[in-house]
Each structure stands twice: as structure tokens, then as C-alpha cells.
Amino acid sequence: MRIAVGMSGGVDSSVSALLLKEKGHEVIGVTLRFHKEEVCEGINVCCSPQDVRDAVRVSEILGIPHITLSWEDIFGERVINYFISESLKGKTPNACAICNRDVKTAFLALYLNKVADIDRLATGHYILKEETKEYGTVLKRPKDRKKDQTYFMALIPSEIVPMLEFPLGNMTKDEVRKIAEDYKLPVSDKRESQELCFLMGKSPGEFLEEKVGSRKGKIVHISGKTLGEHRGLFHYTIGQRRGLGISWKSPLYVIDIDPETNTLFVAEEEFLYGDRLFVKDINFIVPKENWKDVQAQIRYRSKPAPVKDIKEKDGGYEVIFGEKVRGITPGQIVAFYDGDILLGGAVIEREDYLA
């Protein structure tokens, strides 16, 4: 089989290429370059010029061909511009999930299939892909639950799933690093990127303030009392407690972000809990008629909660939970599961409230 491996220059994608080559596949390394400038020392981001060089070195060691696609413009238009526009709407956009759909996973798989006759695209994500009688081809949580990245694949179109491979799904991170060390790959101890790659070491708020300038406004308690001034709504997210710069008789958290009035609303923790949210549309990896015991995850590290009902409303869908969940955040992804199986996902439009 002719398999392209999305090589980020890190240990996970490098070992993925190694494992596929050892299985006898025709492997081609493909690296996407998103940044033309070099990254300052101490700042670890993905898809930089240094990452391209690392991917080339590993490909040479493995004896596989390698190509680099300079997709700075595509990444800028589809991910960075999206991040900026959604942030200015008072949301907390999940740029990684959008990137996986529109650039580096789903779109890249389709692109390579059409222009280079590639059978599959493999990546270093920790995800299991399996064939099931009930659901067909599905994506599942991996062996290494601490590295589970299914949440970021919730927007991948169902027709793309058969075109993807995830060689690390049955492995732990420690096992992956050990293989890289044994094979003497130069990226065996390379540190992982833990932030959005285009921030270049800045916080999201700092990045956005550089782009659009300072946009100060009021911080208002749910009771209506003005407590202080915020630095710009894009510096905050739902559930945030630290960095508010206000005092109150009890701890306060961000509960709402209103871009129309440029107001940051805060309240006690109890106001962070809700039992329903609204999405404009849902990406059904598994057809909705096959959804049974559904749970939903509203943040990457949040615990899945049981879903009581999903019903059409206002041209979209209202998701009703069987229990209250903390910190429903517009812009983030809600990923739906049946046990370990990823059913689909959507971008959270808003928290819904009882009529």
C-alpha cells in the first residue's frame, strides 16, 4: 500500500513512518510548512522550518522519499483567520480541530489521494481505527488514554476516515520513545509542542492584541455590579478564575463573554454549570440512526457526560445532558462517544437555557 505519513518532525510521526515501512508499505514522508520564520530558542511549535529539517533527517535515515508542502497561506486563511474572527465574536475557538479538518489531516488526505495517488494518510496521533460490524470503520480512544487525541478528530468527515491510518493507537508514549531510541532517531527525545503553533510563545490574548489592538471594557458581576475593567475579551475564556484583577467576597469565574457590549460577566462557580448547549450542525462520523448510548465531551480534558437527548432546534441541534456539566464554552468542540467509539462532533455555538 502507498501511504503518506504526515511528518511533523516529532517522535510520534517519525515512529509512525518507521513502523509502516517495517510492515512493507511504500512510505512517503510529507511535511507541511506553516511558518516561514524561524522560531526563537526555547519556543516549541509545530510545522516550523526546524521541524521540516528534522522530518527530512528522519526520512533520510529511514530511506524514504520526503516532500515539503508550503501551506502557509492555506493555514493562515483556514486556521489563523478563523481563530481571530471567532475570538472577536467572544468565543474560544478550537484551532486544532479546525486544522485537522481543513488542513493537515482530512484535507491533506483528500489532496494527496487526488494529486499523488496516495492510498492512505498516516499520522502520529494516538487514536485507534477499527472495523466494526455495527458501525463500520470507526475511530476509538487509544491504549494510552493520557495521549488520547480522538477529541481533535471529531470534525473529520466520515468519508475521510477510511483514508486515514494511526499506527500508534495500540502503543504508549514511552513505547514510542523507546523505539525511536533503539533506532537512534535524532528526534527520540524531542519535546512536544503544547500550545497553538501560530502563537509563537505568546498567550492567545497577547497574540490577538497584537493583531487587533487593546479593547478594554467592563467586568460585571451577574448581579449587575461593575467590578473592574478587562484587558480585552480575547484574554479570557469561560470558567477562568485567575487574572481577573477584581475582588469579591467569594471566588469569581468568567461565565459569559459579550462582544456586542464588550462586557465580561463573572459570577460564583455554581453559575458555570448547565445541562444543554446548541450547535449549528453535527459532523456524523457514525450515522445518527446508529447512535445509542451517547456521551459528550465539551473540552479536551473534560470528563464525558451522558447525553439525554439531541433534538433539532433553530436550524441546528440542541444537546441535552443527563447531568449538569461545567464550563460550556462557545467555540470549543463537543465530541460525541459511545464508550470508546468517536461518533462525531460539532462546534459549540452557545449554552442553551431552559425556556
Buried b (16+ CB within 10 A) or exposed e, 226-253: ebeebbbbbbbbbbbeeebeeeeeeebb
- Cα separation, 320 vs 274, whole angstroms: 9
- Cα separation, 282 vs 131, whole angstroms: 22
Would the pLDDT of 78 be above 60?
Answer: yes
Q: For residue 335, with 0-12 CB atoms within 10 Å meaning exposed, 13-18 middle and 19 or more buried, which class applies?
A: buried
Q: Would you place residue 319 in the very low, low, confident or very high pLDDT band (cuts 50, 70, 90)?
A: very high
User: What domains are defined for the chain?
Assistant: 2-199 (3.40.50.620), 214-267 (2.30.30.280), 273-351 (2.40.30.10)
pLDDT for 44 equals: 56
Would the pLDDT of 40 be above 70?
Answer: no
pLDDT digits (tens, 9 = 90+) for 322-332: 999 999 999 99
Residue with cell 482530512: 106
pLDDT digits (tens, 9 = 90+) for 151-169: 999 999 999 999 999 999 9
pLDDT digits (tens, 9 = 90+) for 103-133: 999 999 999 999 998 999 999 999 999 998 8
- Catalytic annotation present for 96: no
pLDDT digits (tens, 9 = 90+) for 195-233: 788 888 889 999 999 999 999 999 999 999 999 999 999
Percent of the chain with pLDDT over 90: 86
- Catalytic annotation present for 40: no
pLDDT for 35 equals: 78
pLDDT digits (tens, 9 = 90+) for 175-202: 999 999 999 999 988 887 767 888 888 8
Q: Is 262 strand, coil or helix? A: coil
Average pLDDT, the chain: 93
Q: Assign residue 201 a region (left: φ > 0; alpha: ψ between -120 and 50; beta: otherwise).
A: left
The Cα-based distances of 143 to 79, 167, 175, 304 in angstroms read 30, 12, 11, 17
pLDDT digits (tens, 9 = 90+) for 7-20: 999 999 999 999 99
Q: Assign residue 251 a region (left: φ > 0; alpha: ψ between -120 and 50; beta: otherwise).
A: beta
Q: Would you place residue 248 in the very low, low, confident or very high pLDDT band (cuts 50, 70, 90)?
A: very high
Catalytic annotation, pick one of 46, 47, 96, 197: 197
Catalytic annotation, pick one of 46, 47, 96, 99: 99
pLDDT for 254 equals: 97
The Cα-based distances of 153 to 138, 346, 355 in angstroms read 11, 11, 33
Would the pLDDT of 42 be above 70?
Answer: no
